[in-house]
Amino acid sequence: MNTSVKMILVLTIIATLSGGLLSFWDAFTSPKIEEYRQKEVKKAVKEVLPSAENYREDIKTAGPYTFYLGYDGNELIGLAFNVKGGGFQDIISLMVGVTPDFSQITGLSVLDQKETPGLGTKIAEDPSRKGDETWFTNQFRGKSPFPEIYYVKNKKAEADSEIEAISGATISSQAVINILNFHIARAKEAWSNPGQADLMQDCDEKTPDQHIRISEEDALFNVLPSADKYVKKEAGNFKFFLTYNENKISGIAYRSEGRGYEGPIKLLIGLEPDFETITGLAVLEYCETPGFGTRILSDPSRPAEKNWFLQQFPGKKISPALTLIHNKEPGLPNEIEAVSGATVTSQTIINIINTSVPEARTAFQSIK
Amino acid sequence: MAKKVTLKEDFLKGIWKENPILIALLGLCPTLAVTISVENGLAMGLAASFVLICSSTLISILRNLIPKQVRIASFIVIIATFVTIADRYLAAFYPDISKNLGPFIPLIIVNCMILGRQEAFASKNGVGRSILDAVGMGIGFTLVLIILSGIRELLGSGTLLGMQVMWPSFSPWMVMILPPGAFLTLGLMIGASNWINDRRAK
């Protein structure tokens, strides 16, 4: 027989037999593997929702999160969900339980980790503390995840959001805390606003430079003229940052969001106390189309002033409403020039401001 | 009579004279990486032996059918098949061990010891001798892994197979369960085997 034909024939036969054998073996083992995985998840859910009398197999998905619901009778008393993030060496996967309002952690369990044996692995099991091997995760029970969890070293954790770090495994301890701080806040958002949650998932799959996120505190300096000292106040759906000048409110900033072209756009809007004049605008989060929507932050066609779009806002008047104009310099104090190629994104930002300012003003009256 | 001695040698050479780890220095990656506990070492040794024995058997049966141009490709497909079987088996029935060993079970596919035995022995010898060779090599590989992981677990965690054996005040040597501990212990074991061989030769 021709060698080439023989080669092809032999390899084909071997590969076919191998494939057949493996598909049979897979059918045999898959149910067992899946069963074990389910058991692990169930065990972890029970562990992190200790007070759920009859944990019901209710699962609700919102964006990237899958929530397991814990009930006491018919009352929802806790949510458990799986979160993942980078550890010292590999991904750490956690199951975290919270009260339905996300104000308290009810339990934490490590599903998977590949930290340094003997050091980072103590986040899951610490053999040096006999009888209390899971002390690290146990201490999260009852802690408040907001504003954020932080760690202390070599002393007992006391405060509401304080966690004692593992000595010799500070990075792994910090990694667990970072994962929780990031995901609990986002899961809360996804839980209370499932519509946004789907967009959140789309955004998560995009590249990091397309998906921008900055914190409110960092942005505050850009939207209020003097933001060295600020006070946070909540009213209605709004969280206000207030700056004072000789006991009088000198600036107000608040967060608002809307749907952009591809995902949510979150803004921090700075205003004079009369809610009439904009003092500044910052984008906290967006994931717009690279090269188009992203021009609202960085426009390559105007290299000298890449963020000119946002720079237009300080001094603009909101009443009656901001108006988008195209391809000409704005003349009136309520006109904003659109970014060509990013009209949808520009319009979204205008809309967010126009709709949120009156609502924010009403909410703000209640503080006064 | 002479033939019988050869068969015995086929079997025994893997355990000491041509031990895959101590003498041939093959398959060191899993050897160093997974031997932090005896349980891991034993599981790794058995999984690799299973793959080795099955592959050697099959390949020595097929040795005259496989054209030599595609022999390596055929070996790899056959080895990969058995590795996948072992991997799924562990994941289904010993999930904790499977979790501990992580990617090192799938990586048996590229273990030089296994491919080496196919190329050097199973593809040139009969089924009976190939099985003996594979069993001997598998035992040699597993024994070294058990000893290596035994030393590391004993000194690094103070336990053997998860049971406390060192006195309570014993403070574990952290370095033994970290990668340097694997290199140090393996180096000393190879040194010791060379020393014994030298003494014997004299």
Read off the pLDDT of residues A296-350 as tens digits, 9 standing for 90 and up.
887 878 878 878 888 888 888 887 888 888 888 888 888 888 888 788 888 888 8
Residues in CB range of A173: below 8 A, 6 or more apart: A123, A136, A151, A163, A165, A166
In a shared domain, residues A61 and A137? yes
φ and ψ at A293, to 5 degrees?
-60, -30
Q: How far is A40 from chain B (nearest CA, A)?
A: 10
Looking at every residue in chain A, the average pLDDT score rounds to 83
CB contact under 8 A, A36 and B92: yes
Q: Given phi > 0 = left and psi -120 to 50 = alpha, else beta, which region is B27?
A: left
| Residue B109 token pair | 């596919």
The last residue of one of the domains, among A182, A204, A226, is A204
CB distance from B80 to chain A under 8 Å? yes
Cβ burial of B5 (10 Å; 0-12, 13-18, 19+) is exposed
In a shared domain, residues A194 and A97? yes
Q: What is the mean pLDDT of residues B179-184?
A: 92
pLDDT score of B126 more than 50: yes
Q: Where are the beta strands (DSSP E) in chain A?
A: 54-62, 65-72, 75-86, 91-98, 105-112, 150-152, 162-164, 212-213, 231-235, 238-245, 248-259, 264-271, 278-286, 323-325, 335-337
Question: Would residue A25 count as lying in a domain?
Answer: no
Closest CA to B175 of A117, A121, A128: A117
Cross-strand pairs, A60: A67
Task: Write down the pLDDT at residue A202.
Answer: 60
Task: Write down the pLDDT at residue A306.
Answer: 79
Write down how long chain B is. 202
What's the DSSP call for residue A1? -
Name every chain B residue with its beta carbon within 8 A of the beta carbon of A117.
Answer: 36, 177-178
Name every chain B residue with its beta carbon within 8 A of the beta carbon of A121.
Answer: none
CB contact under 8 A, B92 and A10: no
Please tell me which of A200-209, A221-230, B120-129 the model is most confident about, judged by mean pLDDT: B120-129
What is the spatial distance between Cα B41 and Cα B185, in angstroms, rounded to a whole number? 14
What is the spatial distance between Cα B6 and Cα A179, in angstroms, rounded to a whole number? 61
In a shared domain, residues A91 and A183? yes
pLDDT score of A203 more than 70: no
In a shared domain, residues A182 and A73? yes
Q: What is the mean pLDDT of residues B139-150?
A: 95
Task: Write down the pLDDT at residue A74.
Answer: 80
Q: Angle CA(A190)–CA(A195)–CA(A201) in degrees, nearest 5?
A: 60
Question: Would residue A39 count as lying in a domain?
Answer: no
* DSSP-based three-state secondary structure for B125: coil
CB contact under 8 A, A29 and B156: no
What is the spatial distance between Cα B109 and Cα A244, in angstroms, rounded to a whole number? 68
Contact A167, A155 (CB under 8 A): no
Question: Would residue A149 count as lying in a domain?
Answer: yes
In angstroms, the first-to-last Cα distance of chain A is 95
Band (B198; pLDDT cuts 50, 70, 90): very high
Band (A15; pLDDT cuts 50, 70, 90): very high
Nearest to B174 among A26, A114, A118 (CB): A118
Q: What is the DSSP string of B28-77?
A: HHHHHHHTTSHHHHHHHHHHHHHHHHHHHHHHHHHTTTS-GGGHHHHHHH
pLDDT score of A198 more than 70: no
Name every chain B residue with its beta carbon within 8 A of the beta carbon of A91.
Answer: none
Radius of gyration in angstroms for the set of CA atoms belonging to chain A, rounded to a whole number: 26
Give me the sheet containing A91-98, strands edge to edge: A54-62, A65-72, A75-86, A91-98, A105-112
In a shared domain, residues A249 and A165? no
In a shared domain, residues A171 and A271? no
Which residue of B40, B84, B90 to mutate against A (max A Cβ within 10 Å)? B84
The last residue of one of the domains, among A177, A204, A231, is A204
Which residue of A3, A4, A10 to mutate against B (max B Cβ within 10 Å)? A10
Q: How far is B4 from chain A (nearest CA, A)?
A: 34
pLDDT score of A209 more than 60: no
Nearest to A18 among B62, B81, B174 (CB): B81
φ and ψ at A107, to 5 degrees?
175, 160
What is the spatial distance between Cα A292 and Cα A267, in angstroms, rounded to a whole number? 18
Contact A367, A240 (CB under 8 A): yes
CB contact under 8 A, A3 and B65: no
Name every chain A residue with its beta carbon within 8 A of the beta carbon of B78.
Answer: 14, 18
CB-hemisphere CA count at 13 Å for A314?
A: 11
Band (A227; pLDDT cuts 50, 70, 90): low
Give chain A's domain count.
Answer: 2
Task: Write down the pLDDT at residue B59.
Answer: 94
Nearest to B102 among A21, A36, A114 (CB): A114
Distances (CA, A) of A241 to A228, A237, A315: 12, 13, 19
Task: Write down the pLDDT at residue A173.
Answer: 92
In angstroms, the first-to-last Cα distance of chain B is 28
Which residue of A4, A7, A43, A91 to mutate against B (max B Cβ within 10 Å)? A7
Asked which of A37-51, A54-68, B106-120 is least confident by mean pLDDT, the reply is: A54-68
pLDDT: is B4 or A17 the higher one?
A17
Q: How far is B187 from chain A (nearest CA, A)?
A: 21
In a shared domain, residues A362 and A224? yes
Name every chain A residue with its beta carbon within 8 A of the beta carbon of B95.
Answer: 33, 36
Question: Would residue A41 count as lying in a domain?
Answer: no
Cα A70 to its chain centre, rounded Å, is 23
State the virtual CA torsion across A132, A133, A138, A139 in degrees, nearest 10. 80
Q: Given phi > 0 = left and psi -120 to 50 = alpha, else beta, which region is A310?
A: alpha
Share of chain A above pLDDT 90, in %: 15
* DSSP-based three-state secondary structure for A20: helix
Q: What ipTM score was computed for the predicted complex, to two decimals?
A: 0.83
Closest CA to B121 of B134, B112, B108, B110: B134
Residue in A closest to B87 by C-alpha: A29
In a shared domain, residues A228 and A317? yes
Q: What is the mean pLDDT of residues A233-237?
A: 79
Question: Would residue A30 count as lying in a domain?
Answer: no
Domain that holds residue A114: 54-204
- A-B CB pairs within 8 A amount to 60
Task: Write down the pLDDT at residue A118.
Answer: 74
Question: Would residue A17 count as lying in a domain?
Answer: no
Q: Give the helix/strand (H/E) hosting A49.
A: none
* DSSP-based three-state secondary structure for A11: helix
In a shared domain, residues A362 and A226? yes
The last residue of one of the domains, among A204, A228, A262, is A204
Task: Write down the pLDDT at residue A219.
Answer: 78
Residue in A closest to B99 by C-alpha: A112
pLDDT: is B9 or A263 the higher one?
B9
CB distance from B89 to chain A under 8 Å? yes
What is the spatial distance between Cα A150 and Cα A162, in angstroms, rounded to a whole number? 5
Residue-wise pLDDT for A107-154, tens only, equals 999 988 888 777 888 898 887 777 788 899 999 998 998 888 888 888
In a shared domain, residues A276 and A326? yes
Q: What is the mean pLDDT of residues A20-29?
A: 94
pLDDT score of B1 more than 50: no
Question: Would residue A250 count as lying in a domain?
Answer: yes
Q: What is the mean pLDDT of residues A51-69?
A: 76
In a shared domain, residues A243 and A356? yes
pLDDT: is B85 or A368 the higher one?
B85
Q: Is the dihedral of CA A183, A188, A191, A194 positive or negative?
A: negative
Q: Is the dihedral of CA A282, A287, A291, A292 positive or negative?
A: negative
Band (B75; pLDDT cuts 50, 70, 90): very high
Neighbouring C-beta atoms of residue A315, cutoff 10 Å: 11
What is the spatial distance between Cα A28 and Cα B18, in angstroms, rounded to a whole number? 38
Question: Would residue A46 count as lying in a domain?
Answer: no
Task: Write down the pLDDT at residue B89.
Answer: 93
Residue-wise pLDDT for A246-268, tens only, equals 778 888 888 888 877 777 788 88
Nearest to B69 among A7, A14, A112 (CB): A7
Task: Write down the pLDDT at residue B8.
Answer: 84
